[in-house]
Amino acid sequence: METYRKPKKITIKFFLNQLLEPAINDKGKESYPLYIQITYNRKNMQLKSKYAEYYYNLSEVKPGLMDFEEKVLRKIITYEAAQTGEDYDLKGLKKKYDVYSYSIHQTIEDYLKPKLRMAVLKTNDELANVLSFNSSLATVPRLLAAARRLFPGFDRHLGNRLEDELAAYSQFLQLEKAPLFIYTFPTVIDWVDGSYKEVLDKKLNTIYKENPSYRKDILSLIENAMTEKLKQLEQ
């Protein structure tokens, strides 16, 4: 008979790290970065918030941010502990948090941008280096639209696979809008532990009931992007 083991308690607390050099806010007050202390199985560690800024006090933190990061961290620890068992500790959590807390949208962007850039370079046009792929405002849809305007017949440089992936991303964005500073967006860990994948799959099955290939293409795109992103854990 399998022995039931009570899940170990996860304690997460947020604090301003006043041991670090402060920044001066617009009111002339010293502000500090937001940090997170995690306790699991009597082991402690601290890491810097991924999405926060510098604050004078915790009341300045944007609503929902701390709840969001706590949820992500709990998911990561719960998932990793389930894979590792009794031997799990917090070692390597900083790197895992950096990867797992990435939004799914940004993960897809990071996956598609290098491919789109290669297609731009294939044009051999003197304007190929005009497009700034590193700008935060340069999203894949905007870059694609710009490339089509700059380079006549640009789509012939894409190749069938990239063309299909770009089409799948366009469909995905119609269903799931990119996050705009609202801390409810799906992250890599939501895909890895299956929770978001299950929700999305149900939505796709409903919307594309008559066109199952759309569902398959969107799920395949995200899976490929996730595979590339998770390679960072091995580096």
User: In sequence order, what are the residues at sequence separation of 6 or more whose Cβ sits closer than 8 angstroms to the Cβ of residue 77?
Assistant: 10, 38, 40, 88, 90, 93
Specify the pairing of strand 23-24 against strand 43-48.
Answer: unpaired
Q: Are the C-beta atoms of 36 and 47 separated by less than 8 Å? A: yes
Phi/psi region, residue 139 (left: phi>0; alpha: psi -120 to 50; beta: rest), is beta
Amino acid at 54: Y
Digits of tens for pLDDT over the chain (235 positions)? Answer: 445 456 688 999 999 999 999 998 888 899 999 999 999 988 899 999 999 999 999 999 999 999 999 999 999 999 998 888 767 888 889 999 999 999 999 999 999 999 999 999 999 999 888 888 988 889 999 999 999 999 999 999 999 999 999 999 999 999 888 776 678 899 999 999 999 999 999 999 999 988 899 999 999 999 999 999 999 998 7
